[in-house]
Structure 1
């Protein structure tokens, strides 16, 4: 639920998307992807990046490089358009936060540079919503992964204690089907039901639109600073244990939040666990990515010329 600058920098470093390179007025359209186009110049830039990433002596053919480049550009366009269509937004403040992490590419205007960051953030957010949120990582999986790390990779105690939280939430998404006002009204109705004694777990299973936690009654597991979006974290940290929040707006929609437990953890241990959790989440999300992007392709109009 939180997009970090390094994630955006990595996305832009590995791929040049359909917005990154300046498009000449004579540039030929190579493919149409719903409401966007892919041009020959964009394919050339993306192909160049793929070539640069190949190890020395690689026997990958030019045809394979061009095919992969086109596939990447189509997928990026699909993800950006999905994010825009379903109400995901990127603020100017978020773009400013990422300027130092993302280098301006040769030939980019300042406007194109900012747009490339905006779209990279859109892609990261839509992947977090549709992929990361579906992934559950258990404490047992984290401990097993830590046990397998070499001793040099395990951080010792820092003697700096921090607070960890176990939040529970219900999400009502704002998207193409549900306006902000409709989502807010729905979450207020759910809050009223909770205040009348309804079970948080039951309402989360029935109504929450966070697929990763709904089946678990809305429980998100242990978390420390930096794991969720700032608005979510601010509300979570201000709540007494067991209290119910007011509706909290994030990029995803409106949340109702309850803190089930808190505990003190050594900062070094907590940061290691958070990093391992993130690594496992990324790996599991990657397993889901192929089916997800194929489904987007099936639902879209894609024409290669």
Structure 2
């Protein structure tokens, strides 16, 4: 067997004997290189098949396979860059953390892990491949959060100003369901390139005004982060949008096409797909206590989980005291000395795994061990109450809105920067 076959065997995870007995089987192809990494044809086809399946379910017309291929490769290049950064950072998602995330996904869908597995396999996908895709998504999310968070600064004056605006608003603040198309301008673009991009943006607006389907045009034309989802940004209030968008949609009505709006990235086209008033809801607050154990080289994931399972058993039988166990064993410096206790808190401020577990408990109930991004926990719900909005809650809301806006803006800039610093080669199709 020649060297090329051995290389392909290594690339595809096949044994030499498998390659010998599969001479006529279509082999995978490298469609792009990203620094030292590669993008495979099979990965591209998997994304395209998912988009087609979703479009079929939503009765959405799609552009050509060639256009879908460009969009899929673009997404995989961005993903590869972030995963390479994760490797350099030493970030790994353990099987236990992955299992916990998949359990949360199944719970959100009001099903079991077994139901989720059957659904994945019924669609023609491998469940193991699905697991690894979720692992990648968790990794990408955590790397992005780690790198973008530190780029965000919010002053107390910004919070105070927004809080004042929110307090002056009458009635329910409006939320907009936004569709977004970005006609990208190359870095250091020439005047002619800028003009060409503007003309493409104008053409897109003409198509939309003629009644063409927005999702199809977005998939075919947009360079935005949600292109393959038909440019769907979802529901946002004015205060959550990037500043540029907020100014553009003020006073606009449902189904209005807005743009092109120029930014450093290119020309943006927005569609106001729907508008709704925000409903005021009372805030649920919880008082809880927990014990955190962080896995390490010395303490494995399984041992950390088993240790907490033993604590939970002893606590339920009355053979141990929660506060004493927390003071002795918990690795959360903010609560350990208080017996693991947190004061009244809005549970939405906690990470999803902690929040979801806490809200599933009855008063005084102790959870089973569960994994979050911080490590393994057990948590006890001490009390729950419905509280009116306080000045602190208003300040937290204003801060959250500012953070969400700046995170979207900085996340796009950060992804663009790491892409400009990378060596990327995309190979033409046969």
Structure exhibiting the larger radius of gyration computed from Cα positions: 2
- Higher RCO (CA-CA < 8 Å; seq separation 6+): 1
Q: TM-score, normalised by structure 2?
A: 0.37
Which has a greater percent of strand? 2
